[in-house]
Structure 1
Amino acid sequence: MIKGLYEAHLPVRNLKKSIEFYKKLDLELAYQTDKLAFFWTEKGHSWLGLWETEKVDTPYHPSLRHIAFHVSLEDIRNAGDWLKQRGIEARTAFGFSPEEQPLVLANVAHAHAAVYFHDPDGNSLELIAPLRLDTEEKLEKMSLKEWDQKYNSQ
C-alpha cells in the first residue's frame, strides 16, 4: 500500500530567498503561489513544500522543521564539497564538527552516513545514505572516514 513519502513541508520567512536557496540544491521548482512553493525532490515521486509564514519562529526540535534527503553513498562522500560549491556550510551535529562529516549514525541495527546543514530560516536539512541495514552487529557513531577504515579497508 504505502510506497514512500510523497511530500513534506517547512516554514520559511521569505519565500523568494528560500526558493533561491533550494534551487542551489538542484531541486526543480514544481509550483508556486505568493506564499507557497513546491520543489520536486524526485519528480513524480516526492516534493517539498515551503510555506511563507510566521510559524518559521517555532523553535526547532527534531520532530519539527527537519528534512532528510536520500542520496547515494558516492554523493554523500562528496557532499561537503558539493555544499561548499553552492555557498552552503555543513553544521555541527551529534558532537561532530562540519569537517568530521559525513558522520555515521548508528541506530540499533542500521547505519547511515549523513551531513547536516541549515536553510536560511534555520530549518535542519540532512543528506543521508544508508550504509548497513538489519545487522546484528552493535554499531557506533563515527565519521565516515573512520567507518571506511574500520569496515572497508579489509
Structure 2
Amino acid sequence: MKRLLLSTFILLIIISCSKNEELEGEPEIIDPRESYFAEAIIGSWSINTVKVDGQIFLYPHTDSCKKDFFQFYNEQGKEFDFEETIVLNCDNCAPCATSTTNLRWELSGAIIKFYFGEQYVTKYKLIDVTETEFTYQLEIDYDNDGDLDVLEISAEYYDPYGNFD
C-alpha cells in the first residue's frame, strides 16, 4: 500500500513538472497592436465622420458650442476611465447644455470593451489610431430595423479643456 501511494505521488510530481516545462516553453500569443493602442488612444477625440453602408456622413455637431467629444484616461484616479460628452440639442442655449457618460474601458488586442460598473455596454473595434486620428468600428442598430449595422467612425484629436496637454 505504501509503495502504491509513493508511486502515485512520484508519478504526480513527474507529470506536473513536465506540464510546467511545456507551458514555460510555449510562447504567449500577444497582439503587437495592443500595447501601441493602449498608449495611442489616451487623449481627447471628436467624431468627424460616420461611414454607413459605404456612405460617409459628416457628424452633426451643434453650432456655436464645443464639439461632442470622448476621452480615454489611464492615470492615477482615472484608471481605465472613458468619458463621452455630447451637447444636447438646443438652438439658443447659453451656455451650451451637455451630458457626460462615464464608463470603464478594457483593451484586448484591437477591441475596446466598455463597462458601466460590471455591466458590459458595448465594444469598439480599433481600425487605426495616430496622434491626430482615431478610427474604429461599432456595431449598433442605428436605424432600428432589428439588425446590427457596422458603422466606421473617424475622429480627430480635440482637447477643448486642455486635459491632455
Do both proteins adopt the same fold according to a TM-score greater than 0.5, normalized to the shorter chain? no
TM-score by length of 2: 0.24
Structure showing greater Rg: 2
TM-score by length of 1: 0.25
Q: Which has the higher strand share?
A: 2
Q: Which has the higher helix share?
A: 1
